[in-house]
Amino acid sequence: MRKQLAMVAVLTLMLLTGVALGGHALYEHHLSSDVRAAVLASLGNNVSDADVAVYLRTAKLAIRTKRDAYIVGLLDKIVEQVTEAEKDKQEFSDALISDMDSEDAIMGACGPNSSGDGCRLELRTDVPLQKSDREVETRALNGEAAKIKDAARLTGILRTEMGLPPIPKPTK
């Protein structure tokens, strides 16, 4: 009788341990409502960069489970890729503007000795881009495009993980 009681106690303890471990595993794969709300808000159509930064910070503070950390990590990576692409685009644009400011690329429409009133600068079309300039331009655009493609790929993964439909491709 005592052996049977001990056996029932051990089996009950094993059952409760199994249920607790199973419940914890289920909880860890659950997406918290606060994280879900912040991520969904950041994926909206008319969201500014500042809003996305606030939503990302809110989501980071609301992390409770492994799944939360994974989803917020994806969003963080997307924001990082898009920010880098925008920075690269701005740096490339600034480099082009500084190149255009040189005397080889721009001439004054009013002449070199005239005052700045009413004068405008025009781009000289007779100055060809050098081969190295074209290579730099191509490399910069390819790097930016690669970051944007990676961000789009990660966005698709994030939308799938969140249970959202993929973004439809535009029809022509």
CA atoms of 62 and 49, how far apart (whole Å):
20
In terms of residue numbers, what domain contains 121?
31-161
Q: Which residues contact 64 (CB under 8 A, 6 or more apart)?
A: 32, 35
Q: Residue type at 84?
A: E
Number of structural domains in the chain = 1
pLDDT of residue 124: 47
In a domain, 117, yes or no: yes
The CA-based diameter of the chain, rounded to the nearest angstrom, is 114
* DSSP line for 23-61: HHHHHHTSPPHHHHHHHHHHTSTT--HHHHHHHHHHHHH
pLDDT of residue 2: 84
Tens digits of residue pLDDT in 69-90: 999 999 999 999 888 888 877 7
Angle, helices 131-161/66-100, rounded to nearest 10 degrees: 160
CA atoms of 59 and 7, how far apart (whole Å):
47
In a domain, 133, yes or no: yes
In a domain, 9, yes or no: no
In a domain, 20, yes or no: no
pLDDT of residue 105: 46
Q: Per-residue pLDDT for 150 more than 80?
A: yes
CA atoms of 63 and 32, how far apart (whole Å):
8
